[in-house]
Amino acid sequence: MALRQGSKQRFLGWEVGQMRTAPGGNGRSRAKRPTMIDVAREAGVALRTVSRVVNNDPTVGPDYVARVQSAIKALNFRPDERARQLRTGVSDTIGAAVRRIAETNPALAAIEQTARAAGLTLLASSTDFDEQREHDILISMCRQRLDGVIVEPIGESHSYLESELAAGMPLVAMDRPMSGVSVDTVMSDNAGGIGMAFHHLRKHGHKRVAYIGDDERVFSGHERAAAFRACLLAHGGPTDGLIHPGELTAERVGAALDAALHGPDPATALVTGNMDTTLAVLRRLGPEAARLPIVGFDDVPLADLLSPALTVVAQDTARIGATAVELLRARIADPARPVQSVVVPVSMTIRGSGEIRP
């Protein structure tokens, strides 16, 4: 269990702290996997019979089943999934091209769970917010003949997918619509969420509420900023100095904060347009954040441990993911069905930061 050994060594170009090589050099050699033919020979039956047993075909005599199964065990046979897929045409696998796997992403978790429940394998890849990577991943998924693909679109133009759609690739867009192609889509109710945040702060006595959010070139950034503007206008209030969409850099967010809070007619409360904006604002304000009423769009990990705990508009990410899979399965089952868009409601989680009065 303990693998202690003092000195540093080089390994594959990495310097590693400690390393051990098993005594006796007990490496393995690559053996060839047995095929169905080998199993058939071992069991003394025909290839077809082995195939039937593997696929639980009930029309096989019990004695044959036993013979074949013991041969499978003896040879340690595992059917080659690729060959089955090639022959049958289906892959029972769906792809997900999301911004980042390996980062908290309840939608992806829901996709995995829903897919698993439907007997589908999930192949997830990170686009890393990179248009070229998104393109490469989607093309690669087409080549793998996945049964369908869910994508959080990044790029502007997706017209290169037209031919894939025409070739029958089922595709669902998540969180954002895709431009240039007509596909099933599932998104959050961005405008509704901004409305909830705004009215929550109004209800707590704030006459001037400011918004800081993502760049308007990003779809959700645009939708949320526009919704906030609509809120202000609907209340007959001024909009000047209160709406700050833009790049997600510390400088830009800092400037927006200054403009919103330290101008001639400062805002007394803040709506932040997404998780990264929320975190940038909190980091910028430091301890000062404790006194500023904030409602964030998107839930934040550990939001309950901050002081005050953070009130947020939370997306129903689990439902978004599950719906994406269901839309995809429906499309796979019936490629001719009408294209559909689903908008998932958001909800508010009240924790303290949004309930501070002026």
Choose the binding region for DNA from 48-56, 165-173, 181-189, 312-320 (rule: CB under 7 A). 48-56
Q: What is the 3-state secondary structure (H, E, C) of 255-317?
A: HHHHHHHCCCCCCCEEEECCHHHHHHHHHHHHHHHHHCCEEEECCCCCHHHCCCCCEEEEECH
Q: Which of 45, 169, 172, 196 binds DNA (CB under 7 A)?
A: 45
Residues 289-328 that bind DNA (CB under 7 A): none
Instruction: Give the binding range for its own copies (CB under 8 A) out of 41-49, 122-130, 193-201, 252-260.
Output: 122-130
Q: Which does 282 bind (CB under 5 to 8 A by kind): its own copies, DNA, none?
A: its own copies
Judged by CB under 7 A, the residue of 9, 55, 132, 341 near DNA is: 55
Q: Contact between 159 and DNA (CB under 7 A)?
A: no
User: What six digits make up the tokens of 280?
Assistant: 């940038």
Nearer to DNA, 77 or 297 (CB): 77
Residue 46 interaction partner, one of DNA, its own copies, none, beta carbon < 5-8 Å per kind: DNA
Identify whether the C-beta of residue 193 lies closer than 8 Å to the C-beta of residue 315: yes
Of the residues 16, 66, 74, 86, which one makes contact with DNA according to CB under 7 A: 86
Packing angle between helix 250-261 and helix 275-285, nearest 10 degrees? 70
Binding DNA (rule: CB under 7 A), the pick from 16, 19, 37, 234 is 37
CB of 33 to its own copies, least distance (A): 6
Cβ count near 332 (within 10 Å): 16
Following DSSP, what letter does each residue of 22-79 receive, concatenated?
-GGG----PPPPP-HHHHHHHHTS-HHHHHHHHTT-S-S-HHHHHHHHHHHHHHT---
- Residue selected from 41, 69, 75, 79 as contacting DNA according to rule CB under 7 A: 79
Quick one: DSSP state of residue 355? G
Q: How far apart are CA 174 and CA 152, in angstroms?
A: 5
| Binding track over 170-189 against its own copies, x by CB under 8 A | -------x----x------x
Binding of DNA by 35 (CB under 7 A)? yes
Q: How far apart are CA 111 and CA 126, in angstroms?
A: 14
16 belongs to the binding site for its own copies (CB under 8 A): yes
CA–CA separation, 186 and 329 (whole Å): 14
Backbone angles phi and psi of 351, in degrees to 5: -130, -10
Among 67, 71, 91, 314, binds its own copies (CB under 8 A): 91
Name which of its own copies, DNA, none residue 261 binds, using a CB cut-off of 5 to 8 Å depending on partner kind.
Answer: none
Which amino acid is present at 97? A
Instruction: Check if the beta carbon of residue 284 is closer than 8 Å to that of residue 255.
Output: no
| Contact partner at residue 279 from its own copies, DNA, none, CB < 5 to 8 Å by partner kind | its own copies
Instruction: State the Cα angle at 295 between 290 and 296, rounded to 5°.
Output: 105
Cβ 267 to its own copies shortest distance, Å: 22
Is residue 60 involved in binding DNA (CB under 7 A)? yes
At a CB cut-off of 8 Å and minimum separation 6, what does 95 contact?
A: 122, 123, 124, 125, 137, 141, 144, 146, 148, 149, 150
The values of phi and psi at residue 252, to 5°, are -60, -45
For its own copies, the binding residues in 220-259 under the rule CB under 8 A are 223
Candidate list 7, 10, 30, 291; residue touching its own copies; CB under 8 A: 30
Give the one residue of 3, 88, 103, 301 binding DNA; rule: CB under 7 A: 88
Only one of the segments 106-114, 194-202, 253-261, 262-270 lies at the binding site for its own copies (rule: CB under 8 A); that segment is 106-114
In this chain, which stretch among 45-53, 57-65, 95-103, 198-206 interacts with its own copies, using CB under 8 A? 95-103
Q: Contact positions toward DNA, by CB under 7 A?
A: 32-33, 35-37, 45-49, 51-52, 54-55, 59-61, 63-64, 77-80, 83-84, 86-89
